[in-house]
Amino acid sequence: MRTVNTYRKLEEVVGCKWSVSVLLAIGNGINRPGALEKHIDGISTKVLSERLRKLTAYRLLEKQSYPEVPPRTEYALTPSGKELLKIILQIQNLDAEIEHGKTE
């Protein structure tokens, strides 16, 4: 049963273009919700908030809130998030290699 749940979580994260886009952006140092929304073409505030909540719940991101006026929130990859990001980048590299091989 645990394996099925693991695959569902993986599908929820990797199968969602927004989750992957959020992880990639945070991996590139864009860590505040407003900056993420501007950086990720086409994502809405609602979808971004939902993805940030879900990725935090899956322990791929950690959230840091600062008691300032106005309040400031930043996100960072957890060790698990960094490992998943490595895998996502490997998949992107493999896809590029396959595409390159098709054009030759």
CB 39, CB 30: distance < 8 Å: yes
CATH number, domain containing residue 6: 1.10.10.10
Q: Which domain holds residue 91?
A: 2-103
Q: Could you report the per-residue pLDDT of 52-99, keeping only the tens digit for each?
A: 999 999 999 999 999 989 889 999 999 999 999 999 999 889 988 888
Query: Number of structural domains, the chain?
Result: 1
CB 85, CB 93: distance < 8 Å: no
Break the chain down into helix, strand, coil percent, rounded to 5.
65, 10, 20
Average pLDDT for 32-58: 96
